[in-house]
Structure 1
């Protein structure tokens, strides 16, 4: 089973305690670091961003008041207000642990602990931290859209005009929508446009990326759970279907929904109610579903991969987003748009693209579609130093003379090696996240986290 989170840090001067914590949490984290004192933690936090921190309260010999731990907690929260800090305390110091929670700690565990209790506490703390980060990313993405960092459906090709026409006709209704298209074509932008033009636009659209969600969490994410429904369910949680009540729910990469869960989603949509995990009481919902997938129509028609009754329920309206290679006439417009955005972002001069360079860019197949073009435009703005953009400023895989994504023999920096390997896998599989993750031996969620870490 893939680890759920990337990094945990245990700060305790007792090596036996650190070892016990590492053994109890090793299946949950890809990496666990043990530090013997708070003095080593703060420099560590300047280099790393752990998903969870286990912090002892007392380090000085005979100290019992927890002052050193509370002071360290204050410094942690100043560096990272979203930090998930779980306090390690003795039974007699519970009152100090409660004080730590008031000051920002997520929870505490008392020594000696049960491994199940420790794992559940740390998992809840790390999940809460991830939820805060996801919410901030979602707000940032919405802000970018509002300020024009993304222009919905930019392009004048006939295929894009058909897409706009479908959106304008479908959006004001409550019909469910399925958006088909390759990775990077802009399916989420279309979903947001459908929601923006709908009668539900007063409420925020709720999203879930089913391609980046662990299979063990699918049911809880979609339907919610009650306290005690499973190990780690320390409290009640509202699922995404209920969170989207009176709004739109965007199911990204819906083709990744496991076959055994598809009937439950179908039942929820047909009966307009959900039953949280661990509960017998249905909860009513009023949701419009907008789903997206990079699966082809033939793949969706395969009963062994996707239930046809669920597909029938989801695709009242079907919108096909064309790949960029099928609307090459839009490439100059897209380049002009993104080069302008990144020139302003990085305070660089506006440069022209010579006709010969533009011709080459228009004939490139852009396997990563608009997303790849956007990344290429950003790189060009950063790298260009002449009066005009040159072809060498744009990374085009497969082009003779293009910069190779190879690992230099002299590079020994692990972060740099990891970034280069991820870039290589993404380009090798034309930015298909599932294939790149498989090539690297990672889950989709783990690859997404690493891509975010390296700014990819």
Structure 2
């Protein structure tokens, strides 16, 4: 059984019956139609793979011009449709002309069943090949920006990061919906991509959609696609992001920005696992892994009625809370070194290193922009540096965003800076070692070692 839908159009009911009885033994669905005037409705409601089209419909007319007209009409809807013409012996020359206009093949009436099956089988393979090529071309076009993006591995040895990495190992290989929470710049997209890489879908598409950049008018057409003619500029059928992510992972970033009406539409898609393109009535099944992210407090929004509770239940089978960079003290220099190596190669300054005072400044800065801000700071420092090392001046960090009385003395060494940070954390949490360690991104044992080392 070939998994394809065949549409047979002929004004002779005997031919329609004969075609349906034979073809339904070999193809998953066979639809028959007496008048080509029904083509628009049938194509909008069904996913047609092969169209078997007669060339004459009016009594006494045998010049085949009607067939050529409807062939042009079908291909104007979608140039990838596979159309096979049915003709008599006298119209063979006209059928050859039709092939030059875009028809795939033709068969003679009355047909031989074996010949009909062979022709339609070949047409089905062509249709599947066209669909794959078309899908890949549209995916390539839509993902062009993402293809140039270099995803960074999750870098860090702090307790919060190790905890998250353990969760990734467990959740990654599943199809569970994951909600990633965290401040801007904490690496939500990196974690989403790591989940994708750990999943059985790793060789399929990873589709990133920034919902925060979509307005109400673009939401449905961008995510669900549209049919030709659905609106003024819809000059061709276009699959949405859900369809283009088929078999892979779709990452919906900034989901907290959606209005209640858009939340309702998204919930319907997640529940039913189907989408409807704008301008079409037929449903299309989707098979994607869903990952979402936001920096907004969704639980508070649910309490205020600005975020649907049922949608929240759907998207957070597993929830990841990413720590801010200031709570990952052990990872700051690791990340800075990683970015330094990357940008040193990019700007041909491979001899650079970060001096001790600059490291101390990095450790005591508050990092309101988190990892993204650190990345930009290091890139700018690499560009602006004149010598062989990155200095405090190269970092150009805002004095207002440092810890109290920490950076006021440029004579403090790295160990002195670390000692001051530990003391501040202990004072802040009134001697609570567990909370102070968490604030610094350390284990209790690591913090105790530093307390002993600095004689605090």
TM-score normalized by the length of structure 2: 0.55
Does 1:390 pair with 2:398? no
**Distance in 2 of aligned mates of 1:214 and 1:131:** 22
Deviation at 1:369, TM superposition (A): 0.6
Change (3 A) 1:272 1:167: same
Contact 1:211 1:253 in 2 (8 A): yes
Could you say which residue in structure 2 is the equivalent of 1:39?
Answer: none
Could you say which residue in structure 2 is the equivalent of 1:285?
Answer: 286
**Distance in 1 of aligned mates of 2:169 and 2:301:** 25
Matched residue of 1:156: which SS?
Answer: coil
Could you say which residue in structure 2 is the equivalent of 1:186?
Answer: 187
Could you say which residue in structure 2 is the equivalent of 1:140?
Answer: 148
When structure 1 is superposed on structure 2, of 384-393 and 299-308 the one drifting more is: 299-308
Q: Residues 393-432 of structure 1: matches in 2 within 5 Å?
A: 393-397=394-398, 398=401
Could you say which residue in structure 1 is the equivalent of 2:264?
Answer: 263
Could you say which residue in structure 1 is the equivalent of 2:5?
Answer: none
Change (3 A) 1:366 1:309: same
Deviation at 1:323, TM superposition (A): 0.7
Q: Residues 335-354 of structure 1: matches in 2 within 5 Å?
A: 335-354=336-355
Could you say which residue in structure 2 is the equivalent of 1:127?
Answer: none
Q: Which runs of 5+ in 1 are unaligned?
A: 1-129, 403-456
Matched residue of 2:389: which SS?
Answer: coil
Could you say which residue in structure 2 is the equivalent of 1:102?
Answer: none
Q: Residues 220-239 of structure 1: matches in 2 within 5 Å?
A: 220-239=221-240
**Distance in 1 of aligned mates of 2:142 and 2:174:** 29
When structure 1 is superposed on structure 2, of 179-188 and 382-391 the one drifting more is: 382-391
Contact 2:201 2:248 in 1 (8 A): yes
When structure 1 is superposed on structure 2, of 294-303 and 182-191 the one drifting more is: 294-303
Deviation at 1:303, TM superposition (A): 4.9
**Distance in 2 of aligned mates of 1:216 and 1:229:** 13
Could you say which residue in structure 1 is the equivalent of 2:53?
Answer: none
Change (3 A) 1:329 1:290: same
Matched residue of 2:330: which SS?
Answer: helix
Q: Residues 88-237 of structure 1: matches in 2 within 5 Å?
A: 135-141=143-149, 144-145=150-151, 150-151=152-153, 153-237=154-238
Contact 1:340 1:350 in 2 (8 A): no
Deviation at 1:357, TM superposition (A): 2.3
Q: Residues 14-93 of structure 1: matches in 2 within 5 Å?
A: none
Could you say which residue in structure 1 is the equivalent of 2:328?
Answer: 327
**Distance in 1 of aligned mates of 2:397 and 2:261:** 41
Deviation at 1:162, TM superposition (A): 1.1
Number of positions where the alignment pairs a residue of Structure 1 with one of Structure 2: 266
Matched residue of 1:251: which SS?
Answer: strand
Change (3 A) 1:349 1:139: closer
1:317-361 per-residue CA deviation (whole Å, 9 max, x = no partner) reads: 101111101112111101111111111111114333232321121
Could you say which residue in structure 1 is the equivalent of 2:444?
Answer: none
**Distance in 1 of aligned mates of 2:300 and 2:250:** 23
Matched residue of 1:289: which SS?
Answer: strand
Could you say which residue in structure 1 is the equivalent of 2:47?
Answer: none
**Distance in 2 of aligned mates of 1:300 and 1:242:** 30
**Distance in 2 of aligned mates of 1:362 and 1:282:** 54
1:210-246 per-residue CA deviation (whole Å, 9 max, x = no partner) reads: 1112221001111111122222222211111122121
Could you say which residue in structure 2 is the equivalent of 1:243?
Answer: 244
Deviation at 1:401, TM superposition (A): 11
Structure of greater Rg: 2
**Distance in 2 of aligned mates of 1:294 and 1:348:** 35
Contact 1:177 1:291 in 2 (8 A): yes
Could you say which residue in structure 1 is the equivalent of 2:255?
Answer: 254
**Distance in 1 of aligned mates of 2:407 and 2:296:** 33
